[in-house]
């Protein structure tokens, strides 16, 4: 029989049939009926268990949060004492105190110990943690600086200088009024929904709303509403006409406030941003008493930067870079053509000579680097024009889809919504990424290195309990 069984298995396997051994006895229909009944019982038990769990949650969840918070506070207190040193009769604690609170802490320790203590203040602050002390309006945006790195103790905190420029860059690169409104609404919605749970989300959404406001402003003055949607399809304006509030025309190469104006503006903003970085770096060195380094390593490039400004804004036959970018010869009108060019050249040579005292032969590479970083800000103009051009091309695609017989209007709306949504996402992503690059690479490379660490005060972080 065993041989016959094997032969039968081989024959069935040949035709793709397998015999499965099922545990239990009885008819398949009866077993299936019992299993279905058991399945209904399990579903009923699941609902009852869920109701019981909800009752337990309502009754004990808040109590558990309170208990966990109290235990966490006690754990931190114990760890603080364990981290010190002790003998049978003495103990030692080492901790950082803000300078403004030093006298109060001394008084408190003496009072609680009844003057049975010895307090030693360490003046060596090289490894001290940092408290970022910014105005209240700037404080929510400190995360932009800390993402790069905390400032070292005693060094300059650049947040107050970084945030206005970052918002300006994002507004200029996204540069669409409708996209700006979307950013404001999105930021506000997420702020209201999740801001109560996370200070980080609240700060980020506040920044996004401010960037949205700047984007709306730039979009209005450039007439950019999903590209040429308002200009061509709603107001039906002709070339040379302007929308309400518009006085800039970034896509027009012949207009006085057209593409060349934006290119010139971007380069001037870049020079200002780089010069600001060198001035801040020099100021930071002066705070540490390093006058020579301040002059040779930082102010030298400030002088060179001002030389660039004069060169760009003057007529120079030897180095006609201003004419290449169609800059108006403003300095020629103020000082005279020859004088302006000589002043620009003198400032650049003076800056290079001072920088040579610090970096020697590397000064040529530093000079090329400074010039390249200046031109890098032209990306502001490139993204501004590209975002509008892409949105305009999507409008043309939607118009073509609209003309399709029968389904044209529905197809046109679908194409318009999907295409503009994709374009908006890309424009926002590009704007934020490229703006952060201008801050972190071009600007911070002039003076800021980070390398500090955050001061974390020893205190009970209470959310569900009070003292």
Per-residue pLDDT 10s for the chain (467 aa) are 556 777 777 777 777 777 777 676 777 788 888 889 999 999 999 999 999 999 999 999 888 988 988 898 888 777 766 666 677 777 777 788 888 888 888 888 888 888 888 888 876 677 788 989 999 999 999 999 999 999 998 899 999 999 999 999 999 999 999 999 999 999 999 999 998 888 999 999 999 999 999 999 999 999 999 999 999 999 999 888 999 999 999 988 889 999 999 999 999 999 999 999 999 999 999 999 999 999 999 999 999 999 999 999 998 767 788 888 889 988 988 888 789 989 999 999 999 999 999 888 889 899 999 999 999 999 999 999 999 999 999 999 999 999 999 899 999 999 999 999 999 999 999 999 999 999 999 999 999 988 899 888 777 777 778 76
pLDDT of residue 263: 94
pLDDT of residue 282: 96
pLDDT of residue 322: 85
User: What does the DSSP 8-state code read for residue 101?
Assistant: G
Residues 6+ apart with CB under 8 A from 407: none
pLDDT of residue 1: 54
Distances (CA, A) of 311 to 171, 338, 364, 367, 373: 28, 11, 18, 15, 16
Count of Cβ atoms closer than 10 Å to residue 278 Cβ:
23
Tokens of 186: 């999105």
pLDDT of residue 193: 92
Distances (CA, A) of 296 to 277, 299, 357: 14, 6, 6
Helical (H) or strand (E) element with 54:
helix 28-82
Predicted structure pTM score: 0.81
What are residue 317's DSSP bridge partners?
none
pLDDT of residue 3: 65
Q: Using CA atoms, how far apart are residues 431 and 251, in angstroms rounded to an integer?
A: 18
Phi and psi, residue 91, nearest 5°: -145, 155
Phi and psi, residue 12, nearest 5°: -65, -40
């Amino acid at each position: 029989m065993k041989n016959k069984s094997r032969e039968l298995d081989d024959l069935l396997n040949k035709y793709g049939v397998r015999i499965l051994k099922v545990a239990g006895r009885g008819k398949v229909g009866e077993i299936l009926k019992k299993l279905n009944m058991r399945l209904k019982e399990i579903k009923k038990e699941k609902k009852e268990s869920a109701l019981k769990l909800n009752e337990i949650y309502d009754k004990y969840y808040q109590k558990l949060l309170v208990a966990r918070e109290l235990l966490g506070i006690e754990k931190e207190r114990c760890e603080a004492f364990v981290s010190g040193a002790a003998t049978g009769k003495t103990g030692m604690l080492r901790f950082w105190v803000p300078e403004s609170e030093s006298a109060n802490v001394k008084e408190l320790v003496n009072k609680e110990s009844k003057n049975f203590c010895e307090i030693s203040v360490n003046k060596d602050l090289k490894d001290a943690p940092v408290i970022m002390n910014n105005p209240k309006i700037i404080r929510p945006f400190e995360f932009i600086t800390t993402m790069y790195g905390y400032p070292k103790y005693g060094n300059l905190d650049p947040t107050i200088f970084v945030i206005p420029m970052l918002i300006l860059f994002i507004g200029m690169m996204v540069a669409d009024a409708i996209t700006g409104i979307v950013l404001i609404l999105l930021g506000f919605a997420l702020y209201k929904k999740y801001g109560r749970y996370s200070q980080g989300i609240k700060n980020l959404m506040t920044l996004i709303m401010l960037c949205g406001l700047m984007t709306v402003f730039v979009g209005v003055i450039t007439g950019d509403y999903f590209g040429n949607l308002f200009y061509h399809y709603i107001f039906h304006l002709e070339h040379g006409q302007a929308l309400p509030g518009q006085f800039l025309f970034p896509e027009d190469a012949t207009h006085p406030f057209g593409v060349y104006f934006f290119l010139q503006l971007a380069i001037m903003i870049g020079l200002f941003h780089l010069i600001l970085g060198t001035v801040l770096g020099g100021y930071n060195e002066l705070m540490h008493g390093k006058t020579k380094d301040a002059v040779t390593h930082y102010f030298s490039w400030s002088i060179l930067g001002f030389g660039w400004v004069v060169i760009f804004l003057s007529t120079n036959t030897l180095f006609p870079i201003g004419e290449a970018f169609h800059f108006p010869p403003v300095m020629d009108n103020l000082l005279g053509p020859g004088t302006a060019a000589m002043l620009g050249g003198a400032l650049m040579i003076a800056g290079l000579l001072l920088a040579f005292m610090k970096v020697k032969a590397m000064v040529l590479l530093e000079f090329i680097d400074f010039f390249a970083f200046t031109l890098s800000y032209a990306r502001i103009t490139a993204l501004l024009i590209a975002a509008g051009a892409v949105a305009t091309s999507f409008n043309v695609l939607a118009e073509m889809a609209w003309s399709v017989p029968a389904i044209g209007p529905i197809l046109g709306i679908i194409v318009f919504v999907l295409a503009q949504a994709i374009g908006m996402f890309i424009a926002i992503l590009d704007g934020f990424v490229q703006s952060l690059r201008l801050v972190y690479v071009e600007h911070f490379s002039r003076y800021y290195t980070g390398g500090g660490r955050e001061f974390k005060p020893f205190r009970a972080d209470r959310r569900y309990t009070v003292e």
